[in-house]
Every structure is written in C-alpha cells, then in structure tokens.
C-alpha cells in the first residue's frame, strides 16, 4: 500500500486569503463575521485583511435632516437647542463629519478615495 500526503486545505497567514478576508483558525473568512469588533452605530468593513469600524452618520448636510433639525456633520440635532450645536465645524470640507464635542473633522478611513479640491488662482 502506498501512502499519499495531501496538503490540508486552508490557510496559515492572511496573505493566503483575498484582501477582503482573513485567515481565522485555518480558514479564509470575513473577519467581521468571525467576531464583529464594532459597537452599535458602527459598520464593520474589511480593509487589507483587517476589520475596520466605520461610524454610521445620519447626515452629511442639514438638508438630510427633518425640518427643525440641523446636521452637526454626522447627526441631526434640534435647531432650537443652541447649546447642542457646536460652533467651529464650519472648517470641515463638505461631506466630512465633524465631532460635535471637539469640533474636529473626522478623518476618512484608510482606502477611502479622496475628493479633489478645486483649483484656486491668485
């Protein structure tokens, strides 16, 4: 009797899987489905084999909100409560969320295509 060695199907490293999958327990799979690391209000996306949590925003501009509400860069808030409106978010480019507590523009996740800035003349 002759014995034939067979390679075990599976993976040992992430680079043996496609970029949208990770090697988990010897199997190429979606790391978001293997154990979603994200919190409520976040969506899990796979970037270069790794799970990345992306904040889900209600809005990008005030026209995305219901009447009487304004967009703070990510969430619709009541317009008649000025204490909740954070000033200082005006410097964020259109479509870039603003942190309502710090006023900082929220950086786009790695791999997000950049929107070209219009040229300015002197």
* Residue appearing with tokens 């790794």: 50
Q: Report pLDDT for 62.
A: 87
Q: Greater confidence, 61 or 14?
A: 14
Q: Report pLDDT for 4.
A: 53
> Tens of pLDDT along 62-102?
888 988 888 888 888 887 644 444 566 767 766 777 777 77
| DSSP of 65-101 | SPTTEEE-SSSEEETT-GGGPPTT-TTSPTT--B-TT
Q: How far, in Å, CA of 82 to CA of 15, rounded?
A: 51
Q: Report pLDDT for 75.
A: 87
Domain boundaries, the chain: 9-56, 57-105
Q: How far, in Å, CA of 83 to CA of 86, rounded?
A: 8
């Amino acid at each position: 009797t002759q014995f034939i060695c067979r390679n075990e199907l599976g993976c040992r490293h992430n680079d043996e899987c496609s970029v949208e999958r990770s090697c988990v327990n010897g199997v190429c799979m979606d790391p978001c489905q293997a154990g979603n690391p994200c919190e409520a209000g976040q969506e899990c996306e796979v970037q270069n084999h790794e799970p990345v949590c992306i904040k889900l925003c209600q809005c990008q501009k005030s026209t995305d909100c219901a009447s009487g509400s304004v967009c703070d860069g990510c969430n619709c808030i009541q317009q008649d409560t000025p204490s909740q409106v954070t000033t200082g978010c005006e410097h964020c480019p259109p479509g870039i969320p603003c942190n309502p507590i710090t006023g900082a523009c929220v950086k786009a996740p790695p791999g997000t295509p950049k929107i070209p800035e219009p040229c300015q003349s002197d």
